[in-house]
Amino acid sequence: MHILGFVRKQITTTELDCARACRIDACFGNETMKVELDDRWQPISSRQNARVKELRALFHEAAPTQDRMVAIEGMHLLEEAIRSGLRLETVFFAESARERAHKLLPQLSSHTSVLLLPDEVFASAVPSETPQGVAGIVKVKSFELKDVFSPEPALVVLCAGLQDPGNVGTIARSAEAFGATGMLLGERTVSQWNWKALRASAGSLFRVPTVKVEVAAALQEATARGLRVLATSSHKGTVLAQSDLRVPVALIVGNEGSGVPRDILSQADEVLAIPQSSKVESLNAAIASSIILYEVARQRSHS
């Protein structure tokens, strides 16, 4: 009995110790994690720091470097980059975003450099007027024409002279939502790596195959691959719902002000018109594209 009592006492003591340890862990676990995360931050104080200057230059150029690096800004966009399987080379936090950063830090690879900047230094490197305090340099994917035209049936958006980055980003978001296979950006179209385009795309431009092209060559390629070339008009054309959009399609989206140029419009197999109130002269390029992309998805889902 004495031996059994001793064993029972030992077990009880061990259980109590474990319980105490768990309570201590619960009390101090978050603080321990905070210390570990704080250890990752490398403080930077100068606007002339090489990494800060690199971030500023990448935002200004809105084009990837030879090794496919671009600059992005905002917590949501950085999380989308991670969700898209992209590699973040460097992440920059402003001092004022220190607490919010704890949400993002555990998601970063151990190979990602993490820099902590004074608010004024951070603001000098990013283009937005009201910075969120988080930015990064990320390696994006490289796409080719074959990626844009597959899988079948292809649904390609060809931007001909779109100059508003918000429109390009919104079209990319709708393209992904409604199953487009890719985007082609023609002459005088803003870069998809413009920070406003990336923000408007909400991460879709990380995933939707997008390639810079010459419009004439792109139309030849689309025709050679058997795509039906469509254009939009606010004045005349086939009513959208009456067009067969189940076939492989290349949709031309024209400039915000002047629309699709006449020489390009003449090469379209069909011109589409979206029924709308006579009180409205025309729809925004991104809205019109989104409506058409939805109609393509609707028809294909019922085929």
Which comes out higher in pLDDT, residue 254 or 30? 254
CB proximity list for 35: less than 8 A, separation 6 or greater: none
pTM of the model: 0.85
Q: What is the pLDDT of residue 257?
A: 79
- Predicted local confidence at residue 64, as pLDDT: 96
Domain extent listing, the chain: 41-139, 145-301
25, pLDDT greater than 50: no
Give the mean model confidence (pLDDT) for residues 268-278. 90
Predicted local distance difference test score (pLDDT) of residue 28:
39
d(CA 17, CA 203): 48
Evaluate if residue 179 carries a pLDDT over 90: yes
Provide the pLDDT for residue 208: 98
Topology of the domain comprising 145-301: Alpha/beta knot (3.40.1280)
DSSP letter string, 257-303: TTBS-HHHHTT-SEEEE----TT-----HHHHHHHHHHHHHHHHHT-
Adjacent-strand bridge partners of 209 = none
Cα–Cα distance for residue pair 1/123, rounded to 1 Å: 74
pLDDT value of position 278: 80
Decide if pLDDT at 115 tops 90. yes
The 3-state DSSP class for residue 294 equals helix
Does residue 1 have a pLDDT over 60?
no
- Would you state the pLDDT for residue 37? 52
**Mean of the pLDDT values across residues 25-40?**
49
State both tokens at 232.
């939009």
| SS3 of residue 268 by DSSP | coil
Q: Is the pLDDT of residue 20 over 70?
A: no
Q: Report pLDDT for 38.
A: 59
d(CA 36, CA 33): 5
CATH level 2 (architecture), domain 41-139: 2-Layer Sandwich (3.30)
